[in-house]
């Protein structure tokens, strides 16, 4: 083998190992991080309490004071 073939083989193997480690790290990050909640966020217009409710609820009753509220729009 010539020296340029040895260097090319070394670089290809090194890049392959780094690529596999990056894929493994991404797979582990996705499997251990929690998924975002589907719940809607509400803020009471009377007592300013912030709470969540199911995603299919359009208006929700505040657990603190009982006021009906619309979801927060971001």
User: 36-73: per-residue pLDDT in tens?
Assistant: 878 899 999 999 999 999 888 889 999 999 999 999 88
What beta strand segments (E) does the chain contain? 40-43, 50-53, 60-61, 68-69
CB neighbour list of residue 64: distance below 8 Å, 6 or more residues apart: 44, 47, 49
Supply the pLDDT for residue 49.
94
Cα–Cα distance between 7 and 54 in angstroms, integer? 58
Record the tokens describing residue 45, joined without a space.
């217009």
Residue 9 has pLDDT above 90, yes or no: yes
Record the tokens describing residue 66, joined without a space.
């009982």
pTM comes to: 0.53
Record the tokens describing residue 3, joined without a space.
């020296």
């Amino acid at each position: 083998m010539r020296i340029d073939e040895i260097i090319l083989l070394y670089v290809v193997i090194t890049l392959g190992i780094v690529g596999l480690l990056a894929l493994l790290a991404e797979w582990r990050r996705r499997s251990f991080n929690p998924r975002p909640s589907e719940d809607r966020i509400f803020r009471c217009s009377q007592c300013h309490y912030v709470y969540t409710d199911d995603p299919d609820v359009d208006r929700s009753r505040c657990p603190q004071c009982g006021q009906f509220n619309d979801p927060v729009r971001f």
